[in-house]
Structure 1
């Protein structure tokens, strides 16, 4: 399986697991508890009543583990055949239960879920504050945050659960623009890439008449905008976390072979490979085909140091949405020669 195939396999799994976690949170919310706390202006209590716990994302944690394991197996599978001085084939294996491997995976998982949970709490608090500030009653505010039950699916649609504060700010501006009745402000909605275009006619008509949209129409539009941004959020989480899992596992897999004495660090070179299209960030286009020793780092034009694409230690602007990878080149001729000379001394 190529690296691109790994991405196309595990990204959708992580995205689906993220949505599953959000649905688990929404389905577990008792709306009346949230409303009662909002009636007392108790925002902390309202947030606690939503039970935004990391455990809701257990499926995402499992999907991350699967991606990590697949990345390590992929890395050793790419190593060419080599034989020891006695002619026996050297067997390369990735141990997902290796102590270092387990530590890396624990850190990736903990960071991922903590980040998602913290983002949710910040976003939900902002959404509640905005609802109360614009004069919505506690029930309306709660529904705007947790979503409304669909008569068709029986599940909650829309809502701010799972979104970042930045996304909720973006959606709140869209709401205000649509309610303004100002054609110039309303037109800004038509520039949003995550809008549902089926509402464009309705908005264009209101713009021509210079009237604000009806509250019910705005509500339907915002529900779809929320859902589309949640899908986008899931895709970005999946891309970034899959890259970190694959990159970390592949690096660890090579290091396991070095620690086992099957190859030597001095014989290993890692080479940066960009995805090779216009979507690659300019700093990673500059790194394409750059080679460094296995213990070296790639220096981005931004000044950031990356051990590999998706390096969790790197700045988020260097790893978010990245699709690059590294290939590992092992100087087997030198390695085998040294082993042979050592065996005959």
Structure 2
């Protein structure tokens, strides 16, 4: 599971790097100069195709999850049995799951880019500044664009904008608040402390670099969250599908199957999931129930309406066993 979580996160980062590298910056700036919002959006080339690698990794994780489930089944029921990712139900699930993920990511990028550009135009901000804040700046070390707002979630974009305001200010309170941001580049803390002591704003170039580094780390965090929230549930869903195929094949009865919820005890678990640890259910169609009332077929499942508070970055796991192998 860890292997595919890492690969899903890497695929997300590759997609974001692809989006950044294909932006026609000069066309974006020119469109902003003439007040052409749609022209600026067109020059960003925010295409669904950029996420093809991510979609492929989600599918790969799903297939691996199903094969892994078969490998862990009792030999008495699994000899000669294979997980079939081409099964109509399995293929439909992964197609819908990955499709919804990619559609949500692309639509989110487009809407947030449009809102940011429109806001910059309304404020009369310099077109080049708006463009660079959106797409990031080219790193001298890597030659690639980094930072910017592409790839960030809506809350993360707000964090970056707030950090930019904090670092542009000479207000000691605002500068001190910047030092509470856990994803900041701590190598610049001395610079911030010096500005606080002197009651002066940090010079513009340094502040810009600090914001770029902060943004880059938040994008990386989002990739990690997507891996846990999307990649791991694909593996768990495949485990369910593998056992359903076992039932369909007549090798076991659904009533022979028992499932258990296992909470990751690392001090960061949700209170609701902590309470669910050890909960067991029979068969493949009975959900687990959270103290919040949420119903989940497995950790990270949203098919029964579980909200983000119950699934985002969930690290819990589910065991499935055949209690009476035949």
TM-score w.r.t. length of structure 1? 0.89
| Distance (Å, rounded) in 1 between the aligned partners of 2:137 and 2:189 | 22
Query: Is 1:305 matched with 2:295?
Result: yes
SS of residue in 2 equivalent to 1:180: coil
Instruction: Report what 2:308 is aligned to.
Output: 316
Aligned residues: 323
Alignment of structure 1 residues 194-209 onto 2, 5 Å = 194-209=183-198
Deviates more, 1:93-102 or 1:111-120: 111-120
Q: How well do the aligned residues superpose, as a CA RMSD in angstroms?
A: 1.6
1:135-150 superposed matches below 5 A: 135-150=124-139
Bigger shift: 39-48 or 97-106? Answer: 39-48
1:244 aligned to 228, 233, 245, which one?
A: 233
Contact 1:68 1:249 in 2 (8 A): yes
Report which of the two structures shows the higher radius of gyration computed on alpha carbons: 1
Offset of 1:41 from its aligned partner? 2.4
Q: Out of 43, 65, 77, which is 1:49 matched to? A: 43
* Helix, strand or coil at the partner of 1:332: coil
**Of 213-222 and 99-108, the range deviating more from structure 2:** 213-222
Deviation at 1:74, TM superposition (A): 1.4
Tell me how far 1:317 sits from its aligned partner: 1.7
- Superposition deviation, residue 39 in structure 1: 1.4
How far apart, CA to CA, are the structure 2 residues paired with 1:165 and 1:133?
A: 20
Q: d(CA) in 2 for partners of 1:56 and 1:68?
A: 20
Deviates more, 1:313-322 or 1:57-66: 313-322
Whole-angstrom CA distance in 1 between matches of 2:128 and 2:100:
34
List aligned pairs for 1:129-168, cutoff 5 A: 129-132=118-121, 135-168=124-157
Question: Aligned equivalents of 2:13 and 2:55: distance in 1?
Answer: 13
Q: List gaps (5 residues or longer) in structure 1.
A: 1-5, 84-88, 337-345
Answer whether contact 1:123 1:163 (CA < 8 A) is retained.
no
How does 1:8-27 map onto structure 2 within 5 Å? 8-27=2-21
Shift of 1:132: 4.1
Runs of 4+ in 1 over 6 A off after TM superposition: none
Q: Which residue of 1 aligns with 2:176?
A: 187
d(CA) in 1 for partners of 2:92 and 2:55? 14
